[in-house]
Chain A
Amino acid sequence: QSALTQPRSVSGSPGQSVTISCTGTSSDVGGYNYVSWYQQYPGNAPKVIIYDVNKRPSGVPDRFSGSKSGNTASLTISGLQAEDEADYHCCSYAGYYTSYVFGTGTKVTVL
């Protein structure tokens, strides 16, 4: 099972919006509505910010949103803030035998 494809890095100024793509196949992203996104600061464990494609856990700011079209999922951060500078990982369910596959990870830089 190959990793989902994410851009290596994206950047934006405070207040701007950035979108991170996560491209898989019909066997993972395109086949299930179980895409989740994780935010990770250096030296820390990941934290879930989006699940089931577009749901936000309690406490996650509404400037984080998720969507999916075909085999590509996307995470949008609106109104970028300095504290959003982190690594972001997508993850998709991929069926009973493969179970889960992660993306290659994206570093978000706030200029």
Chain B
Amino acid sequence: QVQLVQSGAEVKKPGASVRVSCRASGYTFTNYDIHYMRQAPGQGLEWMGWMNPARGNTGYAQNFQGRVTMTRNISISTVHMDLSSLRSEDMAIYFCARGTGGLFDIWGQGTSVTVSS
């Protein structure tokens, strides 16, 4: 079945970087954009950016410019999201989702990122 499976929970110190991975299966990986969102405890969703796996081009939300990088590995149908210079406000559940038209139709299960000294 069509699904996105994310990497496991992470615990990082302030100032460190984290990588969240999102592996696609059940469809042609290069046919759909992958987006990343995050959700801080008790808060709404926040869109972070997108990647086109076929061409490798990306777009990032202004709030994350300079701190976020998305890359892909086509051979394993995976998009990685790297977030640097972590601070306590980055503690959240990070989701990847498949984008098609104006919606996100398939979501990963979420990855918890804890930032603590």
Contact = CB atoms under 8 A, between A and B. Distances in A.
10 contacts: A34-B103, A35-B102, A36-B103, A46-B95, A57-B105, A89-B44, A91-B47, A99-B50, A102-B45, A105-B44
Interface of A: 1, 3, 6, 32-36, 38, 45-48, 51-52, 57, 89, 91, 93, 96-105
Given A38-B45, A57-B105, 10 more contacts: A6-B44, A46-B104, A51-B103, A52-B103, A91-B103, A91-B104, A98-B62, A99-B49, A99-B59, A101-B47
B107 interface: yes
B61 interface: yes
Q: Is the interface of B mostly helix, strand, loop or mixed?
A: strand
Contacts of B66: none
Contacts of A45: 95, 107-110
Interface in B54-104: 59, 61-63, 95, 101-104
Contacts, number: 66
Interface residues of B, number: 23
A47 B62 contact: no
Contact of A91 (B45, B50, B105): B45
Given A47-B107, A52-B103, A98 B61 contact: yes
A34 to B, nearest CB: 3
Nearest to B108: A45
In the A-B complex, the 7 residue pairs with the smallest Cβ-Cβ separation, listed nearest first, are: A34-B102, A105-B44, A51-B103, A45-B107, A100-B47, A102-B45, A36-B103
